[in-house]
Amino acid sequence: MARRPTIADVAQRAGVSRSSVSFALNNRPGLAEETRARILAAAEELGWRPSRPAQALSLGRAGALGLVLTREPDLIGADPFYPAFTAGIESVLSERGDGLVLHVTSADREKSLYERLAADRRVDGVLLTDLRVDDPRPALTASLGLPTVVVGRAEWAGGHCAVELDDEPAYVAAVRALAEAGHRRIAHVEGPREYRHAARRRRAWERTLEELALPPGPLRPGGFTAEGGARATRELLALDEPPTAIVYGNDLAATAGLAVAHELGVPVPGRLSVVGYDDTPLAQYTHPPLASARADARGWGEAAARALGAVIADGAAPDVVLPPAAFLPRASIGPAPAAGNARPGAIRPATVPDVHLSE
Amino acid sequence: MARRPTIADVAQRAGVSRSSVSFALNNRPGLAEETRARILAAAEELGWRPSRPAQALSLGRAGALGLVLTREPDLIGADPFYPAFTAGIESVLSERGDGLVLHVTSADREKSLYERLAADRRVDGVLLTDLRVDDPRPALTASLGLPTVVVGRAEWAGGHCAVELDDEPAYVAAVRALAEAGHRRIAHVEGPREYRHAARRRRAWERTLEELALPPGPLRPGGFTAEGGARATRELLALDEPPTAIVYGNDLAATAGLAVAHELGVPVPGRLSVVGYDDTPLAQYTHPPLASARADARGWGEAAARALGAVIADGAAPDVVLPPAAFLPRASIGPAPAAGNARPGAIRPATVPDVHLSE
DNA sequence: TGCCGTCACTAAATCGGTTTAGACGCGCTT
DNA sequence: AAGCGCGTCTAAACCGATTTAGTGACGGCA
C-alpha cells in the first residue's frame, strides 16, 4: 500500500509550493485562476485530502464534537432517542466534514472522561444530554473551558447555550385529553427522579391535574424501564380505587404497562387508558396502538450540532427553542369507564384555561 | 481561560527538555527515577495531557476507530444492538484512551464517506457491521488500505478479520423447540433480504424445517420493522391454513405480531406461538413474554474493538468466534393447538440429529 | 530612467508532540 | 593519562498542514 499523499506531493506535482496548495484548497484569494485549477487537478489525481490531525494541530481545532452517554447500557438500548439524535448531529457535521466522537460511560467515570476530553483536544466542544438534578457537568465543562451546548431547557444550562424541545405541552395535552374524556383518577409512572426531564414530566402531570381541579393522582416510579413500568402498573391496578388512566414517562414503561393490563384482564381503553412518550417505532403497532408524543429527535440533534458549532466559532450562541413534542392520541385512550366516579362531560374543553405551565 | 499547557510548559517547570518530558510520559528507559518523578509531578501540577492531534500527527495514528451506520434512522432507532455494541467498544477503547468516531449515513453516501475516512486519517480503522449481500465495503476498505474488522461471519469478510457471533443456532433451537411442541406449520417473517444476517436467519429456519422433515413454512417479508411484522402477521393469519407458530427476524416485528394476534383474537400461545430475536428490554414484559434470543452485543463490541486494535497494530488478527446467541423460550410459545394437523409427540427429541447447519 | 504598487507566488515559522543522534560527565581500565 | 563504556539528558529533525512576511516580475506613471 502506497504511502498516502501529502500536501508536498501535490505541490510537487502541480509545480508550486506547499503554501499555494493550501491556498488553493481553502480557496483564498491571491492565486491565479489557472494555477488554482492546476493544483486542484493535481490533488484530485493523487486523491489527496488534508490530514485531519495535521489540520487540527495547525488550526487549533479538532473538527469534532463530543457526545457522552452516561446512561446505563440497557437504559440506552431501548431508547429511540439517541440513534435519531446522532443522525441529526451527523447531518450537520457532514456538511463541514467534521466528526462525532462518542463515549459511553458510567456516572463514576464521567468526570474524568470530560476532563480528558477537555485536555485531549480531541473534540472542540461537547453536547450535554440527559441532564440531571444538580448535574455537575455544566459547571465542570465551564471550568474546563470546553465549549458546551445543553440539550434541554435554558435553566438547566448553567450559562451554556441551550437547545430546548419541550415535553411538557405533550403531557399537559395528554392529561387534558384524558380529563375531557371524563377521567378523574389519572396516575403517572415517572422516570428516574434524578433526570430533569423525568421530573419535568411528572410536574406537568401534577400541575395539570391541579389546574383542572382534579384530585392528585397516584404516582409510581417506573425508571423508564419495562420492568419498572410493569411493576408500577401492577401496583396501580391493585389499588382500592385504581386509576382509570395512566400516563407513563416513556413508551417502554407504557408498553410494559399495556401487557400487564392484558394479563390482568383489564381492557384498554375500556377500563384503563394508557399514554406513553417517545413515539417509539412500536407505538403504532401495540394492541391497542399506544397514545404517545413525538419529539423530533433528529431535528434536535441538528439544532444542537449547529448551536455548538456557533459556540465554538463565536464563543457563544443564542438559545434555541424547538417546537415542543406533539401529543399523539391513539386508541389506547378512551372515555372513562362509566363504573368509575368520573363524570364524563363535566369538564368542558372551553372552561379549561389554556395556560402554559412553567417551572 | 488560560491557554492549555503544552509539553514545553511542563519541560520548563521541571527544568528539563521537551524530549525528557516525552520520555517520562511514555515511560521509556533512560531517565533517572528522580527526574521522571519530577517531570510527572510538574505535568500533574499543570494538568497537562498530550494533545491528541499533535500525538496523532507525530505517531501517524489517530487513536480512534470509525463506525459507520448505514441503516435508515428509524430502523436504527428500534434496535437495542448499537447502544450495547458501542458500549462494548468503548470499554476497550477507554483503556487505551482512544476514541470512537461515529457516522450515520445512507447507502448512497456511504462510499464517499469511507473514502473520506481513509484519506482523512481521522481514524485508524473501521468496523463493518450489518453486512449486506454483495456488500461493497470489504473490498472498498481493502483498496483504501483502511484496517478493517468485519462484525459477522468470516465468509462475509472478504479477507478481513471477522468477529462472529452466530445467530443461527438460536433459530435452529427455536424451530426445533416448536417442532417438539408439535408445531408443523411454522412460518417465518424475515428481515430485509439484502442483510446477510437476515438471510442467514431465514436459511436456518428453512433448513431446520427440512431436517425435521417438516413442510416448508410460509415466508413473509417483515423488514425488521413493526409495520412489516404487523402486516406479515396479518397475512399469515389470513391464510387458509394459518401457521401455528411464527418465527420473526427480530423482536420488533415479533412484538407487533403479538399485537396483531391479540387484535384478531388469536390467543398466544394457545393458537399461535411466537418467537423473536434480540431479547429487547421489552421482550420479558410483553403479554405473553416473548420467546427470543440473546446475543451479547456488548461482548461483541469488545471483541471487535480488540480485534481491530490488533489489526491496526500488527496488520492482521485471527478471526474471533463468540458464543452464539442463546434461544430463550418464554411463554409466547406453547404446544401446537390440537385442532391443527400437527401431531404432538410425533417428533421425538432423540430422533433429531444434532447437526450444525452451515452456509 | 527610476520609483511605486500590484499581482502571484514562496520561504520559513508554527502548531505540539515523538524520536534519533549525539553530547556530557563520570568512574573504570590499562 | 588516555581511552572506554555507561547512564542521563538534550538539540534538532520530523509529522502535515496553515499562515505570515516577504520576494520578484511587471506595468504605470512622473
CATH number where B193 lies: 3.40.50.2300
Helix (H, G, I), strand (E, B) or coil at A218: coil
B-chain residue closest to A70, CA distance = B87
Nearest to A287 among B259, B281, B298 (CB): B259
User: In angstroms, what CA-CA distances link A54 with A21, A42, A93, A123, B124?
Assistant: 15, 20, 19, 14, 15
CB contact under 8 Å between B51 and A57, yes or no, is yes
- The C-alpha atoms of residue B97 and residue B65 are separated, in whole angstroms, by 12
Rounded to an integer, the average pLDDT of A246-250 is 97
Residue A353: which pLDDT band, with cuts at 50, 70 and 90?
very low
Q: Is residue B91 part of a domain?
A: yes
3-state secondary structure of A122: coil
Q: What is the pLDDT of residue B16?
A: 96
Query: Quick check: is A84 in a domain?
Result: yes
Determine contact, residues B228/B236, Cβ cutoff 8 Å.
no
In this structure, the answer to whether residues A207 and A337 fall within a common structural domain is yes
Closest listed residue to residue B214, CA positions, set B172, B250, B168, B253: B172
Average pLDDT over residues B125-134: 96
Rounded mean pLDDT of chain A?
Answer: 91
Residue B357: inside a domain: no
Rounded, the Å distance between the CA of A255 and C1' of C27 is 81
pLDDT at residue B288 greater than cutoff 60: yes
pLDDT at A341: 42
Query: B residues 218-247 near A, CB within 8 Å?
Result: 225-227, 229-230
Same domain, B131 and B247: no
Asked if A172 and A271 sit in the same domain, the reply is yes
C-alpha cell at B22: 516525552
- In this model, does residue B351 exceed pLDDT 90? no
Lowest mean pLDDT among A107-116, A228-237, A303-312: A107-116
Assess whether A220 and A276 both reside in one domain. Answer: yes
A176/A281 same-domain check: yes
**Residue B73 in contact with residue A90, Cβ under 8 Å?**
no
Examine residue B350 and state whether it is found in any structural domain, yes or no: no
Judge whether B309 lies within some domain: yes
Report whether the peptide linkage leading into residue A269 is cis, meaning its omega lies within 30 degrees of zero. Answer: yes
Residues A203 and A337 in one domain: yes
pLDDT score of B2: 64
With cut-offs at 50, 70 and 90, classify the pLDDT of residue B340: very low
Task: Please give, rounded to a whole number of angstroms, the shortest distance from the CA of A186 to a CA of chain B.
Answer: 23
Mean pLDDT is lowest, of A128-132, B87-91, B180-184, B355-359, for: B355-359
Task: State the Cα–Cα distance between residues A94 and B122, nearest whole angstrom.
Answer: 14
CATH number at residue B14: 1.10.260.40
SS3 B255: helix
pLDDT at B350: 34
The mean pLDDT value for A45-69 works out to 96
pLDDT of amino acid B358: 40
Distance CA B13, CA A130 (A): 40
- All residues of chain B having their beta carbon less than 8 Å from the beta carbon of residue A287 are 258-260, 262-263
The nucleotide closest to B50 (CA, C1' atoms): C17
- Determine contact, residues A201/A357, Cβ cutoff 8 Å: no
pLDDT at A132: 95
CA B69/CA B110 separation, integer angstroms = 9
Q: Does the pLDDT at position A250 exceed 60?
A: yes
Please report which helix (H) or strand (E) contains residue A236, including its range.
helix A226-237
Residue A54: CB less than 7 A from any atom in strand D: yes
CA distance B184 to B292: 20
B-interface mutation test, from A25, A52, A233, most B Cβ less than 10 A away? A52
Lowest mean pLDDT among A71-75, A150-154, A213-217: A71-75
pLDDT for the residue numbered B263: 95
Residue with cell 385529553: A177
Q: Average pLDDT for residues B322-340, to the nearest whole number?
A: 92
Covered bases, chain C (protein CB within 7 Å):
7-12, 14-21
Q: What is the largest CA-CA distance in chain B?
A: 89
Interface A:B, Cβ pairs < 8 A? 199
Tens of pLDDT, residue by residue over B77-107, are 667 788 889 999 999 999 899 999 999 998 8
Whole-number Å distance between alpha carbons of B272 and B232: 14
How far apart are the C-alpha atoms of B85 and A77, rounded to whole Å? Answer: 10
Using C1' positions and the CA of A8, the closest nucleotide is D16
- Identify the pLDDT of residue A357: 39
B194 and B320 inside one domain:
no
Contact at CB, B49 and A298, closer than 8 angstroms: no
- Residue type present at position B328: L
CB B285 within 8 A of CB A229: yes
Please give the residue of chain A at the shortest CA–CA distance from B82: A77
Cβ atoms B352, B212 nearer than 8 A: yes
CA distances from residue B325 to A5, A82, B169, B252, B273 in whole angstroms, order as listed: 44, 25, 7, 17, 20
Higher pLDDT, A243 or A105: A243
Nearest residue to A77 via CA among B290, B304, B167, B76 = B76
Residue among B146, B110, B150, B173 nearest B349 (CA): B173
Note the pLDDT of residue A71. Answer: 76
Whether A56 is in a domain gets the answer no
Residue-range definition of the domain harbouring residue B320: 64-165+297-324
Report, as an integer, the average pLDDT of A353-359: 39
> Based on the structure, what is the number of domains in chain B?
3
pLDDT digits (tens, 9 = 90+) for B17-40: 999 999 999 999 889 999 999 999
Do the Cβ atoms of A287 and B4 come within 8 Å?
Answer: no
> Does B97 sit within 8 Å of A83, measured CB to CB?
no
Over residues A6-14, the mean pLDDT reads 96
Q: Angle at the Cα of A166 (from A165 to A170), degrees rounded to 5?
A: 125
Q: Tell me what percent of the residues of chain B surpass a pLDDT of 90.
A: 86
What is the Cα–Cα distance from B199 to B247, expressed in whole angstroms? Answer: 14
pLDDT level of residue A331 (50, 70, 90 thresholds): very high
Buried b or exposed e, range A119-148, using 16+ CB within 10 angstroms:
bbbbbbbbbbbbbbeebebbebbeebebbb
Examine the domain organization and report whether A43 and A82 are in the same domain: no
Pairing of strands A161-165, B326-328: unpaired
Q: Tell me: pLDDT of A172 over 60.
A: yes
| pLDDT tens-digit readout, B159-217 | 999 999 999 999 999 999 999 999 999 999 999 999 999 999 999 999 999 999 999 99
pLDDT band at A356 (very low <50, low <70, confident <90, very high): very low
Confirm whether A68 is domain-assigned: yes
The residue that minimises its CA distance to C1' of D14 is B58
pLDDT by residue (tens digit) across B245-279? 999 999 999 999 999 999 999 999 999 999 999 99
3-class DSSP string for B203-251:
HHHHHHHHHCCCCCCCEEECCCCHHHHHHHHHHHHCCCCCCCEEEECCH
Distance B34 CA to C29 C1' (A): 30
Residues B13 and B71 in one domain: no
Q: Tell me whether residues B226 and A87 touch, CB distance under 8 A.
A: no
Q: pLDDT grade, residue A80 (50/70/90)?
A: confident
Closest A-chain CA to B1:
A145
Element (H, E) at A292: strand A292-294
Does A349 reside within a domain? no
CA angle A263, A326, A328 (to 5 degrees): 35
Q: Are residues B159 and B184 in the same domain?
A: no
A interface mutation test: which of B285, B290, B312 has the most A CBs within 10 A? B285
Q: What percent of chain B has pLDDT over 70?
A: 92
Let me know: does B108 contact B137? Beta carbons within 8 Å.
Answer: no
Ramachandran angles phi, psi of B308, nearest 5°: -65, -35
Distance, Å, A20 CA → C9 C1': 7
Cβ(B137)–Cβ(B152) below 8 Å: no
The reported pLDDT for the residue numbered A193 is: 94
Q: What is the pLDDT of residues B130-140, one digit of tens each?
A: 999 999 999 99
**How many residues are recorded in chain A?**
359
Between these two residues, B78 and A186, which has the higher pLDDT value?
A186
- Report H helices in chain B: 7-14, 18-25, 33-46, 52-59, 73-77, 81-96, 107-120, 137-144, 168-180, 196-211, 226-237, 251-263, 297-314
For the segment 34-93 of chain B, residues whose CB is within 7 A of strand D: 34-35, 57-58, 60
Residues in chain B: 359
Strands A326-328 and A292-294: what pairing?
Answer: antiparallel
Report the pLDDT value the prediction gives residue A30, as an integer from 0 to 100.
87
For residue A165, what are the β-bridge partners? A322
Same domain for B283 and B213: yes
User: Contacts of residue B56 in chain A, CB cutoff 8 Å?
Assistant: 53, 56
Coil, helix or strand at residue A305:
helix
Is the pLDDT score of B233 beyond 50?
yes
Q: Which grid cell sits at A315?
A: 464563543
CA atoms of B32 and B40, how far apart (whole Å): 12
Residues A30-44: b if buried by 16+ CB within 10 A, e if exposed:
ebeeeebebbbebbe
CA distances from B312 to B62, B120, B127, B159, B304 (A): 11, 16, 12, 15, 12
Q: What is the pLDDT of residue B81?
A: 87
Peptide bond into B288 cis (omega under 30): yes
Q: Name chain B contacts of A255, Cβ cutoff 8 Å.
A: 282, 285-286
Same structural domain, B282 and B175: yes
Distance CA(B147)–CA(B144), nearest Å, equals 9
A348: pLDDT strictly greater than 50: no
